């Protein structure tokens, strides 16, 4: 069935998984201490301290931070905690905000450029020009999504994108999230195509009534035989035309 709107995952679909794993997160890991020292006033540190203290109640690797501790001690503890959260792949709101701010600075200073596969922009441009709205749905924040595509190696790609969704609309392996996206963009679910490299996300989208295809890219996790049977796969966005 033809589609009237396109919803895209990022990692493993438009962009390599290694970009996030090998560039974005290591950048924060390496530079977070200096960033906290130089650019975060006490008001910016407060939500991170509150998060640390909440996490410390059930995670022995996270250190609680006294409100009357010296600023240097707070920064040192927060640095260790943030690095622990990165190691554990924790997606905590206050930490994601700091990551987003750091990435924004890095993108704007040309220290980082968002990775996209060569086949992505030319096809998205053609779809956009033909009137197909294109949306992003990622577990990364909307801010992080806009930065990746706004400062990509292909240039500013935000001009071909109609909107962005993150986990504020729901988790990616829950079908209700896709129903909400369909309602938000005003399209019948059956007229929306969702592309992802994660089969559980594809099944959730189909359960919500969307079309879905699985994307094969170098470095992606292998798909199960059942998923390969249930879904059409593509390895290049040109196959959408």
Is 197 annotated in some ligand binding site?
Answer: yes
Closest CA to 33 of 78, 66, 84, 63: 78
Is 11 annotated in some ligand binding site?
Answer: yes
Phi, psi values for residue 83, rounded to 5°: -65, -35
3-state DSSP call for residue 30? helix
Cα–Cα distance, 71 to 33 (Å, whole number): 12
Is 16 annotated in some ligand binding site?
Answer: no
| Burial class of residue 159 (count of CB atoms within 10 Å of its CB; 0-12, 13-18, 19+) | exposed
CA distances from 229 to 2, 174, 214, 217, 224 (A): 20, 21, 11, 18, 9
Cα–Cα distance, 234 to 88 (Å, whole number): 31
Is 67 annotated in some ligand binding site?
Answer: no
Cα–Cα distance, 50 to 44 (Å, whole number): 11
| Burial class of residue 116 (count of CB atoms within 10 Å of its CB; 0-12, 13-18, 19+) | buried
Please give the angle made by the CA atoms of 216, 106 and 50, to the nearest 5 degrees. Answer: 95
Query: Which residues are annotated as part of the binding site for Mg(2+)?
Result: 9, 11, 197
Query: Which residues are annotated as part of the binding site?
Result: 9, 11, 138-139, 172, 197
Query: Which residues are annotated as part of the binding site for substrate?
Result: 138-139, 172
């Amino acid at each position: 069935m033809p589609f009237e709107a396109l919803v895209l995952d990022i990692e493993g679909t438009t962009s390599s998984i290694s970009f996030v794993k090998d560039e974005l997160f290591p950048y924060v890991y390496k530079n977070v201490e200096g960033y906290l020292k130089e650019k975060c006033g006490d008001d910016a540190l407060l939500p991170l301290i509150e998060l640390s203290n909440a996490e410390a109640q059930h995670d022995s690797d996270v250190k609680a931070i006294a409100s009357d501790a010296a600023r240097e001690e707070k920064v040192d503890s927060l640095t260790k905690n943030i690095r622990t959260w990165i190691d554990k792949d924790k997606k905590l709101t206050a930490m994601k905000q700091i990551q987003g701010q750091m990435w924004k600075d890095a993108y704007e200073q040309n220290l980082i450029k968002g990775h996209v596969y060569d086949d992505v922009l030319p096809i998205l441009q053609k779809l956009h020009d033909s009137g197909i709205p294109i949306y992003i749905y990622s577990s990364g924040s909307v801010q992080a999504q806009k930065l990746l595509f706004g400062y990509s190696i292909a240039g500013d790609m935000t001009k071909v994108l109609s909107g962005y969704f993150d986990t504020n609309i729901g988790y990616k392996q829950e079908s209700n999230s896709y129903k909400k996206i369909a309602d938000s963009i005003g399209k019948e679910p059956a007229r929306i195509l969702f592309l992802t490299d994660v089969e559980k996300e594809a099944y959730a989208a189909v359960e919500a009534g969307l079309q879905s295809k699985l994307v094969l890219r170098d470095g992606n996790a292998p798909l199960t035989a059942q998923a390969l049977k249930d879904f059409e796969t593509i390895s290049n966005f040109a196959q959408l035309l």
